[in-house]
Amino acid sequence: MQEVIDSHCHLDFQKFNRDREEVIERARNAGVVEMVNSGIDLKTNLSTLALAKEYDFIHPTIGLSPLVVSHYGNEIADEILLQLEQDAAESVGIGEAGLDYHYYKDSKEREHQKEYFRKVIEIADSYDKPLVIHGREAEEDSFEMVRDLDKVIFHCYGGSVETANMITDAGYYISIPTIVCFSDHHRSIAENVPLDRILIETDSPYLSPRKGRNEPAFVLDILPVIAEAKGIEEGTIAKATLKNTRSVFGL
């Protein structure tokens, strides 16, 4: 059995309320030795920290999603920034945070997201925490904004191979999601990301490679796909991603 880490999931989300323990047990039985659970707002930052206290193999990151910034406005966003400062020490990373150009096309709204992303970047920097980026259709702008940081993970990366090369050349990490199981574009990204810069994730409960809800156990579905794309053994992918995830998050 391969041992892997799901580098990005949302086990505290409502979709797992009825069977969370079973989902976690299935992941462990499948070979998922650790999971990084990411917050996106006030409520989920609290619940990810609580979940991590319950399970020593679940590690929390706390964040401020750009969707939250745009949808709920400055008052809520400012409150979350305070929360990030207060709880940074308890987390293994800051994020997810960043920019989302998929849902927000207006230049003023994009600037608004950038304004808050800058503040999150400062927090990650001041607490020396890796930054987990949500950069949907905004990969280049996100990259330009974080170039002074040491530790950066582009979560659920779906941008161009060229931008991916720039990201990994800068020493940052790219996390390949379970979408790779059915997306040629994500396969080409995985094929090109160097072994020492690649992570794997489910982003569960979203983006399932099977029918219905995604869950951390399904992160193993990624291994044969990347192994085939790169022409190397599944075990090599498992070992590299395990090592990289532990390294960047300090696990």
**Residues tagged in the binding site annotation for a divalent metal cation:** 8, 10, 96, 134, 155, 203
Known binding residues: 8, 10, 96, 134, 155, 203
> What is the Cβ-side half-sphere exposure of residue 63, based on CA atoms within 13 angstroms?
29
- To which H or E segment does residue 100 belong? strand 93-100
Helices (H), strands (E): how many in the chain?
A: 10, 8
Residue 206 DSSP class:
S
| ∠ CA 239-12-243, rounded to 5° | 15
Is residue 4 within 8 Å of 241, Cβ to Cβ? yes
Distance, CA of 217 to CA of 220 (rounded, Å) = 6
Could you give the dihedral angle defined by the CA atoms of residues 77, 79, 85 and 86, in that order, rounded to the nearest 10 degrees?
-150
* Backbone torsions φ then ψ of 166, nearest 5 degrees: -65, -40
